[in-house]
Amino acid sequence: MASQEIIFAGFGGQGILSMGKFLAYAGMDSNLNVSWLPSYGPEMRGGTANCSVIITDEEIGSPVLTRADTVVVMNRPSLEKFIDFIEPNGLLIIDSDQITDIPDRSDITIYKIPAKTIAEEIGSATIANMVLLGALVKKTGIVSMETLLSSLKTHGKEKFYLSNKMALERGAEYIK
């Protein structure tokens, strides 16, 4: 079993912490060791927010990440802050509707996903985070989509379940 150290980052209000939280729940529901560490500025909405998630079958020494296997970003300031955290051969997933110019790193895999556009097609721009989370789960296989959906149903709001499920599935389809 591979472990994953992941950073999710963007503006407050984009669902950054929720992305990490639902992935952490899915990791726990898969009987893995999990750490979820949120971080946000005092301004909440509009300020920057990020969280780190570690999912592994080994013991977790510290929840603080200085390097990451995967970084998921939803705004330019977060990309600039975390691009250098990504390990060589790591993964960067971005919302290409929010970030147009991507720094050149030939040693990582980059997925540019128009998450906001996909979310709006489903019916709500606020589920762009779930599009990116679906892509992450499909690409890394760190938890199964079935477990993620089950965790979302258990820990999320029922009225958002179907739209979140569609967003996760559309994000997964984006990964070749």
Q: What is the pLDDT of residues 53-68, one digit of tens each?
A: 999 999 999 999 999 9
- Amino acid identity, residue 168? L
Mean pLDDT of 36-42: 85
**Whether pLDDT at 44 is above 70:** no
**What's the predicted TM-score (pTM) here?**
0.94
Per-residue DSSP letters for the chain? ---EEEEEEEETTSSHHHHHHHHHHHHHHTT-EEEEEEEE-TT-TTSEEEEEEEEESSPPS-S--SSEEEEEESSHHHHHHHGGGEEEEEEEEEETTT-------TTSEEEEE-HHHHHHHHT-GGGHHHHHHHHHHHHH-SS-HHHHHHHHHHHS-GGGHHHHHHHHHHHHHT--
Mean pLDDT of 109-120: 96
Q: What is the structure's pLDDT at 40?
A: 77
Residue whose entry in the numeric block shows the structure tokens 């919302």: 95
Q: What's the domain count of the chain?
A: 1
Q: What is the pLDDT of residues 116-170, one digit of tens each?
A: 999 999 999 999 999 999 999 999 999 999 999 999 999 999 999 999 999 999 9
CATH of residue 112's domain is 3.40.920.10
Domain membership of residue 14 as a residue range: 4-173
**Whether pLDDT at 1 is above 80:** no
Q: Band the pLDDT of 45: cuts 50, 70, 90.
A: low
Q: What is the structure's pLDDT at 32?
A: 96
